[in-house]
Amino acid sequence: MSEFWNLLWLPLCIGGAVFVLVAALAPLEALTWWAGWSSQPAPDTPLPTVSARADLASAYVVYLSGVAAIDPSGMHPKEKAFLDGLETAMSDTTVVRDVFAYSATNNSLTGERALSRMWQRINALSVKRGKRITDWAGLGLVILRNLTQILVSADSRYGPIFSFGVAKGIAERLQYHGYVFGARAPVILLGYSGGGQVAVGSAPYVAQILRRPVWVIGIGGVYSDDKGILFVEHLYQLTGTRDYTWRLGDICFPGHWRIFPHSAWNRARRQGLVSFINMGPMKHTLKGDYFSRSAKLPDGQTHAAKTIATIAELVAHAQTQAQVASDAKG
């Protein structure tokens, strides 16, 4: 046993040191952007006034992927098929899928950044072999990097800057895809895994920019005790009985614990702002997850079909609520 630990302690120490270093540097991207020191548009840059399309959808769903995301344009085929199915099921709804959740400037890992060549190589291997990431070392690097951005989002010091940047990127892509500011069409942030935290953190700023309420749907979402939860119109959390990852928020963030009743998370739950929807025996990722087209529920429905139908129903409910609120205002 002692020989085992003698072999293991060095990799553990190196891994821990790498994590600490990456975590310490994680806020720099958002901070340099906020200070105007990066090549990305400054925080006070006006939103573009030209959209690619002028058709107004009845609802807009903004998809924020999980921590294994590298570039929205090169997402895993299973995710792409799921979003295609979602658009088909909601023909009057626009699904925005070109927002990178783990950057305050919507700059994907393969975009303009110092290590872009490394990320491009990892992404190329993923696309070439038809899997999310075939190189487990590459997968670990991507998850580590994006995980630290989730921690930035959850940090009360840097989170507001990061979340505002993400919100600005969301507003820009919404406008690009035809959203008209002041429209009745509801905006729903659809966050998978760590994308759920980013959605909750950015939702208040999206609502301020659009001057409209924002809904959040989490697919196995993981959340901190972000105060943004108090400003969403409603958070719908889709959970699978075989998905244990989403419970990390309850374990890792003290604001979820019952001994802190005045935390933002617990206040939101008491106010009825959070609903949990049981999706049956679905896993967080890989075979049998929420996007699986081969795994089936006891009633014969595929996991992907069930997830799509549930989200479509929630979006329709948000549309009704938005319409009622708009009519009430006159």
- What end-to-end distance do the CA atoms of the chain give, in Å? 73
> Whole-model pTM?
0.90
Mean pLDDT score across all residues of the chain: 86
pLDDT band with cut points at 50, 70 and 90 for residue 323: confident
Dihedral (CA of 241, 245, 246, 252) sign: positive
- Please list the residues that pair with 326 across neighbouring strands: none
Per-residue pLDDT of 64-115, as tens digits, reads: 999 999 899 888 889 999 999 999 999 899 999 999 999 999 999 888 887 7
Residue 128: what pLDDT? 55
Q: What are the tokens at 32?
A: 């340099």
Q: Where are the domains of the chain?
A: 61-101+115-329
Q: Compute the average pLDDT of residues 28-57.
A: 67
- Condensed to tens digits (0 to 9), the pLDDT of residues 216-230 reads 999 999 999 999 999
Task: Give the burial class of 163: count Cβ atoms within 10 A of its Cβ; 0-12 exposed, 13-18 middle, 19 or more buried.
Answer: buried
DSSP β-ladder status, 234-239 and 214-219? parallel
SS3 204: helix
Tallying the residues shown for the chain, one arrives at 330
- C-alpha 247, offset from chain centre: 16
**Eight-class DSSP state of 296:** B
* Mode of pairing for the β-strands spanning 274-278 and 234-239: parallel
Q: Which residues pair with 188 in a beta bridge?
A: 61, 215
pLDDT at 132 over 50: no
Q: pLDDT: is 1 or 297 the higher one?
A: 297
Question: CA of 71: how far to CAs of 213, 221, 268, in Å?
Answer: 28, 20, 32
**Rounded-to-integer distance, Cα 3 and Cα 104, Å:** 45
The CATH architecture that domain 61-101+115-329 belongs to is 3-Layer(aba) Sandwich (3.40)
Stretch among 122-136, 207-221, 316-330 having the lowest mean pLDDT: 122-136
pLDDT of 305 strictly over 50: yes
Q: Which own/partner contact pairs does 313-316 have at CB distance under 8 Å and 24+ positions apart? A: 314/188, 314/215, 314/217, 314/236, 315/59, 315/61, 315/90, 315/93, 315/186, 315/188, 315/217
Is pLDDT of 7 > 90? no
DSSP symbol at 228: G
Q: Are 152 and 31 in contact (CB under 8 A)?
A: no
Q: Which residue has the higher pLDDT, 144 or 307?
A: 307
pLDDT digits (tens, 9 = 90+) for 249-271: 999 999 999 999 999 999 999 99
